[in-house]
Amino acid sequence: MIEFEFSYEKVSEWPPLAWLCICDCESSLIRVYHGPRVEVQPKWFCEAVWDSEYQAGNFDQTDCIFGTGGRLRSKSIHFVSSGSTVDRLHVITKNDRHFISNSLPCILEAADLSLDPSFRGYMDLFKSSRFGLKKLSSEMPLADGFVRLVYYTNLIWDGTTLTDYSKPFPRHSLHDFSDYFNFMRDSLKRIGNNLTDAGRSTPYTWLGTISRGYDSPTCAALAKYAGLQRVLTFNESRPGVADDGHDIARSLGLDCVVLDRLGWHRNDLIEPAFLVADGQGKEVSMAAAAGLLDNTVLLTGFGGDYVWNRNPYPINEDLHRGDYSGLSLSEYRLHRGFIHLPLPYLAMRQVSDIARISQSDEMIPWDTQGPYTRPICRRIVEEAGVSRNQFGVKKTGNSVRFLISQDAWSKSGKRAFLNWLWAKRKETGLSCLGWVLGRSAQLIIGPIISGKEQRPWPVNRIFHRIYTRVVAIVRRYGFEDMPFVWAVECIRKKYKRL
């Protein structure tokens, strides 16, 4: 058996939390290249928080881990993914070498491989994660080979083979509301002790998010028990739709920073850092928080639409949450230096138990009926001191959809992408006619969507048909995939070739 050891090299120019590991067949030396804020120890490295003692480094023995890392165990190396599907690992095998990284552009640069600009279907790969672990597409085609996308699954390297293995699945006792509430509260307390541990080279602090919906106020109310003091909120969730959760934060006794949903327009070229993760970049509004995110554990409600719904569907253990919101943060957070913790993923595989609690007689006083009711959330937030009419009245959901022109690109982003698109028209297989049609489609979609709230329903129905046709044009010519390919080319320049 091979006696492994880690060989660390800090790459100061890299994003703070990025890491890349190279495993050579039959070699005992595991080379780890990392950004300046990755935690490194003789037997493990990570950019993560988890629900047990930091010094022991047992993040491979829990499903309650957020972030990624590697752990030496009994003559094998365990590579650990996040306990959510809004982060992932990436794997490339080339010439008897295995490259593993928490960053797609990093691993492509290190392995000297590129995406296939003529391939149509990158967006479908990311969208597949919404259908659960068994149905997600894990192989991303490259110009020469492929890269594996690894969600919610750990890997073991034994010197010759890199093997998948499932995360631990502790069955928590979730019989009633009290059990579930105590489980979430106590898990957050343990994570809170871990993230502030004095043994860390860079300790973290909590940072929450809050809106007028259900999920983020629930997360904030629970995290108060673990030391949360500050939250972020956005002035809008959609163009013209107010979503400021400042009053809710005040009721919870939390400091609140109100951000402009389009404040990211003031940044230099920022779209690629979000597009590179999921090709949509819908969480780009978070860039408006900029320095507020550094060295924090960002608590969000991604996944709450599924697990806290009174009637979630489907009920299985496969994390089939129905959307992939939150994924676009997975590269950006490495650059800003924060950990993403979507609280609803705690015990999400026990969604059948959670749904039974939501539907139980004890939760009837907090069931507002109708399609938008989440009794567990309402009870937690109301019992924390927030009045019933302050939250969970109407579903909104904060996302920025600049890719289909519902919202504007930044001036620098739009100019850079269009210049690249024209320069790469041969490689992408885009004809001049396709470029004109696709560009016209982007100009048409924005006006169609922007006036939706002011138009009568019959008119909206006609506009919806036009919108559907226009979107079809965008997809036919691969406009969904091209911003992603462009973004990867942009971001990989930030990773020094090894």
What is the DSSP secondary structure assignment for residue 149, as one 8-state letter? E
Does the pLDDT value for residue 2 go beyond 80?
A: no
Kindly give the pairing relationship between strand 76-80 and strand 44-50: unpaired
Q: Do 54 and 17 reside in the same domain of the chain?
A: yes
User: What one-letter code names the amino acid at 465?
Assistant: R
Q: Do 144 and 187 reside in the same domain of the chain?
A: no
In a domain, 233, yes or no: yes
Domain count, the chain: 3
Nearest CA-CA partner of 341 in 399, 284, 293: 293
In a domain, 395, yes or no: no
Q: Do 383 and 237 reside in the same domain of the chain?
A: yes
Last residue of some domain: 141, 168, 195? 168
For the beta carbon of residue 164, count every other beta carbon within 10 angstroms.
Answer: 12
In a domain, 397, yes or no: no
In a domain, 399, yes or no: no
Q: Do 217 and 235 reside in the same domain of the chain?
A: yes
Residue of higher predicted confidence among 433 and 324? 324
Nearest CA-CA partner of 228 in 260, 201, 196, 258: 196
Output the six-digit token pair for 108. 């492509």
What is the DSSP secondary structure assignment for residue 120, as one 8-state letter? -
As a whole number of angstroms, the distance between CA 399 and CA 404 comes to 12
Please provide the distance, in angstroms rounded to a whole number, between the alpha carbons at the two ends of the chain.
29
In a domain, 498, yes or no: no
Does the pLDDT value for residue 350 go beyond 80?
A: yes
Q: Do 159 and 10 reside in the same domain of the chain?
A: yes
| pLDDT score recorded for residue 455 | 46
Mean predicted confidence (pLDDT) in 106-129: 92
**Whether the model pTM is above 0.75:** yes
Does the pLDDT value for residue 413 go beyond 60?
A: yes
Last residue of some domain: 367, 390, 413? 390
Q: Residue 27 belongs to a domain with what CATH number?
A: 3.60.20
At 277-306, the pLDDT tens digits run: 999 999 999 999 988 999 999 999 999 999
Strands (E), 374-480: none
255, β-bridge pairs: 230
| pLDDT score recorded for residue 5 | 94
Q: Do 213 and 245 reside in the same domain of the chain?
A: yes
In a domain, 331, yes or no: yes
Does the pLDDT value for residue 120 go beyond 60?
A: yes
As a whole number of angstroms, the distance between CA 330 and CA 473 comes to 29
Q: Do 418 and 446 reside in the same domain of the chain?
A: yes
209, β-bridge pairs: 232
Kindly give the pairing relationship between strand 89-94 and strand 145-150: antiparallel
User: What one-letter code names the amino acid at 439?
Assistant: R
In a domain, 398, yes or no: no
Does the pLDDT value for residue 466 go beyond 90?
A: no
Does the pLDDT value for residue 477 go beyond 80?
A: no
Output the six-digit token pair for 311. 């009637």
Q: Do 219 and 88 reside in the same domain of the chain?
A: no
Q: Are 91 and 162 in contact (CB under 8 A)?
A: yes
Can you tell me which residue has the tokens 């009711």?
Answer: 373
Strands (E), 216-260: 230-234, 236-238, 241-242, 255-259
| pLDDT score recorded for residue 238 | 75
Q: Do 278 and 356 reside in the same domain of the chain?
A: yes
Q: Residue 203 belongs to a domain with what CATH number?
A: 3.40.50.620
Last residue of some domain: 168, 198, 229? 168
Q: What domain range includes position 456?
A: 404-493
Confidence of residue 458 (pLDDT cuts 50, 70, 90): low
Nearest CA-CA partner of 211 in 377, 397, 378, 380: 397
Nearest CA-CA partner of 33 in 496, 405, 381: 496
Confidence of residue 435 (pLDDT cuts 50, 70, 90): low
Does the pLDDT value for residue 481 go beyond 90?
A: no
Q: Are 295 and 204 in contact (CB under 8 A)?
A: yes
Mean predicted confidence (pLDDT) in 133-153: 94
As a whole number of angstroms, the distance between CA 470 and CA 448 comes to 10
Q: Are 334 and 293 in contact (CB under 8 A)?
A: no
In a domain, 285, yes or no: yes
Q: Are 211 and 243 in contact (CB under 8 A)?
A: yes
Q: Do 262 and 132 reside in the same domain of the chain?
A: no
Dihedral angle at the C-alpha atoms of 126, 402, 323, 222, nearest 10 degrees?
Answer: 120
Confidence of residue 450 (pLDDT cuts 50, 70, 90): very low
Q: Do 290 and 267 reside in the same domain of the chain?
A: yes
Q: Do 409 and 382 reside in the same domain of the chain?
A: no
Can you tell me which residue has the tokens 């919870």?
Answer: 252
User: What one-letter code names the amino acid at 199?
Assistant: G
Helix 215-223 to helix 177-195 angle (10° resolution) is 70
**Dihedral sign of CA atoms 132, 135, 138, 140 in order:** negative
Residue 218: phi, psi to the nearest 5? Answer: -65, -45
Residue 463: phi, psi to the nearest 5? Answer: -65, -35
Does the pLDDT value for residue 485 go beyond 80?
A: yes
pLDDT, mean over the chain: 90
Does the pLDDT value for residue 138 go beyond 60?
A: yes
* Element containing residue 307 per DSSP (H, E): helix 304-307
| pLDDT score recorded for residue 427 | 77
Buried-state track 447-465, b at ≥16 Cβ within 10 A, e below 16: ebbeebeeeeeeebeebee
